[in-house]
Structure 1
Amino acid sequence: MSDVAAPGPLVLGPMLRFVGEHAATVWVETAGACTVTVRCARRHWSARTFGVRGHHYALVVVDGLERGTSEAYTVEIDGVHVWPEPSSPYPPPRIRTLDRERPTRLAFGSCRTSVSHDAAGNASHGVDALRTLALALAEDRAPWADLVVFIGDQVYADETSDEMRAFIAARRSLDEPPGVEIKDYEEYAHLYWLAWSDPANRWLLANLPTCMIFDDHDIRDDWNTSWTWHEEINRTPWWHERLMGGLASYWVYQHIGNLSPEELAKDEVYAGVLAAEAFDSDDELDLSDALFDLVRRVDRHPEVYRWSYRRDLGDSRLVVVDSRAARVLEPTQRSMLDPEEVSWLDQQLTGDVEHLFIGTSLPFLLPPGLHDLEAIDEAAAEGAYGRFVSRVAEKSRRSIDLEHWAAFNQGFVEVFAMVMDVARGNRGTAPGTIVFLSGDVHNSYVAEVTDAREHGASSRIVQAVCSPIRNPMPRGIRVMMSAFSKGLVRPMNLWRQWSSRVPDPPYAWEVTRGPWFDNCLAELAVDERGLSMTWRGGDVRGGDEEHPALTTIATVRIDVPPHQDGRHP
């Protein structure tokens, strides 16, 4: 059984995950095997829980809804009302279905640690931008988004809080590997509970549809940085259990909620849940063996399962790409994406939408100087300048995280070519914008391809970064990183031009806004002129740590020229 002490039958959730025009999914974790029911008005939908390692979950498919409507809902466990709680200070949770004729509005961000929201927590980690938004929405002081895209590091398995360490210490000695880091599925389950159980955030996640993708800290810092890293980590006695627990819990807590009901039916593991429901048995299905068998195969052969996915939003399309587990690490074939993932992405990147959004946890377009540094480091680490330099370069890319798209040049070039093909209108009518949505780097900025039209593209190609939601970079490092990224442009450019071993980027870009280092959550809104992007954070006023005020950190407009007939693309 679970080591988590549950205060009632509902352990975690409800979380509103997929929402389309006529269907939604609601995820919960419960204290025991049961039937979970979601009620809207006079209709209801139910699902039997499934088990994983002593924990119990349900993903209730709510279908037959009307497009563009908003309905309050409640949750029952075995016929007993459990949500919303009678004492809740927040409005009842609602399911707001998608209206494809309504301009898209989505929020995005990454990197969120789970510490207290009191003076101590705010002093060490800053104000939680997600919780600040929750409080503003509860009081109708902010607009509702159609979707929140969490693009990495939803939990930190390698940088644990005092609360998490206390839980670990109650199970095992902190002197034994992996020490204060997460060891197994049970510890991951508690880590997610800490991340999502704050009342304000829990209310937000019950109301705002979410989709997610992992980054390294969901598993471990530098996950799949290089072949050398891969070999070294696999020699540790604890890594296999950690990876199995990390991927299995990711599937349960994050991945299945990314999928539409149609995609769930095609998932090789979740198909067992649907088969058990069709059999109409009162016994709970234990998915542990099937799920851990899957993640064991994924560890050895990443191509057997896809974590990437797509959401169609009417005027826009969102394609979320796995840039961690699908990597090819062999020194002579390094790529961010394996061939199967490249082929899948190639099929998703098409036109005939007003805006194409590509979610990737790691920024595709770094500040140009940093991009060149990572490209140089990749060449050096792979032996371009001899063994000694190779060893130094390998240590550098781990110690200062030189492992973004620039450090996997083959995949970078392939994806850039696809994007330019879309922007030229070779895959349907070119979108007004193609926007990469990313996080990871603990600062936020906007970059744009500067010579796209010179290469026949009619779309504006933009990189928008929002990081962190709550895990700020120390002030001294902020100053250094800001100066470092700007000061690198000329020397790295000269080095790249001098060296025949370092490839030139196929197209030029520049940072147009930023960086800024505040905890924040970004919002992107489609309008008749193009896109409006806003980065928002929280500010404690009058000493009220529990109720920060929503603030605007930065706004950026991406205007799109109309067609000759006056219409916007």
Structure 2
Amino acid sequence: MFKLSVGPIIGHTTTNHTRIFLRGNLKKNNPAFAGIRYRRAGDTDWSNSLFTALTPLRDMSNVIALNNLSSDTQYEYQAGWFTTGSATHSQETLKELPLQWPTEIYRFRTTSSQATTPRSYMVGSCRYLRMTLGIPSLPSKGDKIYSAVYRLAQKSSPPASAFIMTGDQVYVDDMNIVAPDREYKDILSKYRAAFSQPHIQELMASLPTYMILDDHEIEDNWPAKANNDTTLYRNAITAYEIYQASHSPVHELTPDGQPDRTLKHYWYQFSQGDLEWFVTDSRTRRNLSADDRRILDTEQEHSLLEWLINSPARVKFVVTSVMLYPDSKSQDNDAWKGFPEQRLRILETIRHNKIKNVVFITGDVHGSLTCRLRHSQDPDFEVHTLVSSPLCNSAWLPYAKASTFILDRPLMQTPTGDYHLQLTSAVVSQDNFAHMIVGTEQIQVDYYDPNGKVLQSAHIPLHNNLS
């Protein structure tokens, strides 16, 4: 067997289940397969091997789900790929092949079944990896921060449950002014390069990753500047589905326990104990028409509001790749500032239903901060946002500063009162990532630089009485 060309990537993981992305290579058009075997850490015997076919249709990649696992347990696994002379193999006949597994052993941990146990998460967005003639330029710069994320995840107490990646994991348009990529093969090449650098590969092989796209997975400020380039969109979104959506909860499981390839939308939900996440697609479902301007489509908004109202979760995290608040002073209207009616509907739903412990997780702006939102006539209303961006900035792009945002007047004014915001941290204006520890009384947020040094800390209070 050969070492994987991309991966393994640990995706959606629960108390008894995980999904693992694997990619091989095309070799003389021979039928290709990827395989996994696993065991509990400390055991000597491996499980029966699991295999999946690799085809050019999915860029020689696939996802294998492991089921019937034990909760809060560390597992070891090996993964690789190989070719055969026949494409008609079954799981049973593949098991009979004399395969020599790659020597590297990877590890992951399933989530705890204890509802109220503290949990921690790594959060980040906007990793710029410049490509020149198809080759990464200074790849170590774009990969360095993942080493710090990995080291912290390994020693985190409580153990890190996931890495939440809120957008711009890949810059399809990194050379947009000079030579924008729009061909499928070029976009796939960027994903392979971005996800196969040594530090991000080490991290994603062990820590469950949850991803959602933003504009640079397609084009800067898409769709406002789309120019009806359907070829670019089709190619970019197909690559996104292969490398980011494939191992996410958006794919339901078939009766045999493997991910169904049917894909209705990109937004999804997942839960861990008494914490729940709603990861929105705030990019591809936009409506820019003047009579019904919205950043989330009708179905997604309805699902989000229904979840906010009815979910019994103690803490509800809403991921949006662009900022809900504070608003930027810029005039591009790419974030929620440009969709005030829908933003107000969401905030008013939270306020009228007295929903507590709602935290918006976001990135995009190349600056990090925490911020609290309150209402002038409703002392019970309070929501928070945590912004983490960028993992690696481009030399061409500025960092956000406090002066970037509108902080001296209400976010929104309504007949029943005004929404006022207040920064609860300084604005980090350098490459960084966030470590979030969710306890019983508060969320501790620590921002780290690419060397693993703490830049600043903040705390988000939690309300224990949810009645």
Q: TM bucket by the smaller chain?
A: 0.7 to 0.9
Partner of residue 16, structure 2? 22
Partner of residue 258, structure 1? 248
Distance 1:136 1:9 in 2: 26
After superposition, the C-alpha distances for 1:195-245 in whole angstroms (9 at most, x for unaligned) are 1112222111100000100000110001023xxx44xx11xxxx2221111
Distance 2:259 2:365 in 1: 33
Give the deviation of 1:413 after TM superposition. Answer: 1.3
Give the deviation of 1:192 after TM superposition. Answer: 0.8
SS at match of 2:452: strand
2:261 aligned with 1:248: no
Alignment of 1:186-201 (within 5 A): 186-201=185-200
Matching residue within 383, 388, 392 for 1:466: 388
Distance 1:53 1:122 in 2: 28
Alignment of 1:178-189 (within 5 A): 180-189=179-188
After superposition, the C-alpha distances for 1:263-285 in whole angstroms (9 at most, x for unaligned) are 1449xx96469xxxxxxxxxxxx
Distance 1:471 1:81 in 2: 41
Distance 2:143 2:250 in 1: 33
Matching residue within 322, 325, 344 for 1:365: 325
SS at match of 1:508: strand
Partner of residue 436, structure 2? 524
Give the deviation of 1:134 after TM superposition. Answer: 2.5
Partner of residue 434, structure 1? 358
Give the deviation of 1:405 after TM superposition. Answer: 0.5
Partner of residue 489, structure 1? 408
Partner of residue 206, structure 2? 207
After superposition, the C-alpha distances for 1:66-119 in whole angstroms (9 at most, x for unaligned) are 01100111114356345454xxxxxx3212111132322111111001259xxx
Q: Compared with structure 1, are the counterparts of its residues 186 and 250 closer, same or farther at alpha carbon in structure 2 (3 Å cutoff)?
A: same
Amino acid of the structure 1 residue aligned with 2:148 = T
SS at match of 2:343: helix
SS at match of 1:43: coil
Amino acid of the structure 2 residue aligned with 1:193 = R
Contact kept, 8 Å, 1:256 with 1:264, in 2: the verdict is: no
Distance 1:415 1:559 in 2: 21
Contact kept, 8 Å, 1:135 with 1:200, in 2: the verdict is: no
Partner of residue 70, structure 1? 74
TM-score normalised by the chain length of structure 1: 0.69
After superposition, the C-alpha distances for 1:45-69 in whole angstroms (9 at most, x for unaligned) are 5232243447211211101100110
Give the deviation of 1:469 after TM superposition. Answer: 0.7
C-alpha RMSD of matched pairs (Å):
3.3
* Mean Cα deviation higher: 100-109 or 147-156: 100-109
- Identity across aligned pairs (percent)? 21
- From the CA coordinates, give the structure whose radius of gyration is larger: 1
Give the deviation of 1:347 after TM superposition. Answer: 2.4
Distance 1:67 1:406 in 2: 41
Alignment of 1:371-390 (within 5 A): none
Distance 1:352 1:332 in 2: 35
Distance 2:416 2:126 in 1: 31
Q: Compared with structure 1, are the counterparts of its residues 122 and 202 closer, same or farther at alpha carbon in structure 2 (3 Å cutoff)?
A: closer
Amino acid of the structure 2 residue aligned with 1:154 = Q
Give the deviation of 1:562 after TM superposition. Answer: 4.7
Q: Compared with structure 1, are the counterparts of its residues 465 and 82 closer, same or farther at alpha carbon in structure 2 (3 Å cutoff)?
A: farther
Amino acid of the structure 1 residue aligned with 2:249 = L
Distance 1:341 1:468 in 2: 27
Q: Compared with structure 1, are the counterparts of its residues 30 and 24 closer, same or farther at alpha carbon in structure 2 (3 Å cutoff)?
A: same
**Structure 2: where are the runs of 5+ without partners?**
40-45, 83-96, 132-136
Give the deviation of 1:465 after TM superposition. Answer: 0.2
Distance 2:246 2:234 in 1: 17
2:378 aligned with 1:455: yes
Matching residue within 391, 395, 410 for 2:341: 410
Partner of residue 148, structure 2? 132
Alignment of 1:158-557 (within 5 A): 158-160=173-175, 180-225=179-224, 229-230=225-226, 233-234=227-228, 239-259=229-249, 263-265=252-254, 271=260, 305-349=264-308, 350-367=310-327, 370=328, 396-397=331-332, 402-422=333-353, 424=354, 430-431=355-356, 433-451=357-375, 454-455=377-378, 457=380, 460-471=382-393, 477-478=398-399, 481-485=401-405, 489=408, 507-538=419-450, 549-557=451-459
**Structure 1: where are the runs of 5+ without partners?**
1-6, 86-91, 161-176, 274-293, 295-304, 375-395, 425-429, 539-548
Matching residue within 80, 89, 103 for 2:118: 103
* Number of residue-to-residue matches in the alignment: 432
Give the deviation of 1:517 after TM superposition. Answer: 1.0
* Mean Cα deviation higher: 248-257 or 50-59: 50-59
Structure with bigger helix share is: 1
SS at match of 1:344: helix
Distance 2:63 2:119 in 1: 25
Distance 1:183 1:478 in 2: 27
SS at match of 2:146: helix
2:4 aligned with 1:10: yes
Q: Compared with structure 1, are the counterparts of its residues 438 and 136 closer, same or farther at alpha carbon in structure 2 (3 Å cutoff)?
A: closer
Amino acid of the structure 2 residue aligned with 1:354 = R
Contact kept, 8 Å, 1:106 with 1:525, in 2: the verdict is: yes
